[in-house]
Amino acid sequence: MSRKPPLELVAPGAVARPSQEEAMAAVRTLIRWAGDDPGREGLADTPDRVVRAYGEFFSGYAEDPVEVLSRTFTEVEGYDELVLLRDIRIESHCEHHMVPIIGKAHVAYLPDHRVVGISKLARVVELYARRLQIQEKLTAQVADAIYTVLKPRGVGVVIEADHACMTTRGVHQPGVTMVTRRLLGCFREDPVRREFLAMVGRPGGTAAGL
């Protein structure tokens, strides 16, 4: 079965990053635009806090998924069943409004002679989540990275998340969850497809299912 090329294994092209002071000045501008005084006591240190918070929120641009997944193990004693990590917490930010995307990811693969430490699966999810994102792209990036680097028989990724750009602005629809998936290799075929979707609580896998 042919392998699709990775959607994006590296961060977007290098950009000229502003200095910390330039970033803080931009935050002060936004505070003034919102209608408040960035110099008042309660806001005086906010630009510094925001810039440091952004350093955490978007730390994924500095990480390499290939490096994260490169250390694998071949002593698996003939294990040839699904490896699934469920309910990986996702904290990301919408690239359209820069507001939170909060949810969980379910990641599985069917090994072909080698496995990776399970913490590395969670790290790959976090790495891509800590960039400006849309959920569809995040789902594809995680699946493609695992499929390309580990070269397993197949990969499945399902992400369920709430988007603040929909719940706190615009249509104001709280409680709405977006579900996306990407299935590669043998995960596109039954019975592996059905087994995976059942294990993550999404039975079926037909058009009427997930």
Residue numbers annotated as active site: 94-97, 135, 163, 165
Four-CA torsion 99, 104, 110, 115, nearest 10 degrees: 80
Give the 3-state secondary structure of 77-126.
CCCCCCEEEEEEEEEEEECCCCCEEEEEEEEEEECCCCEECHHHHHHHHH
Helix (H) or strand (E) holding 162: strand 154-163
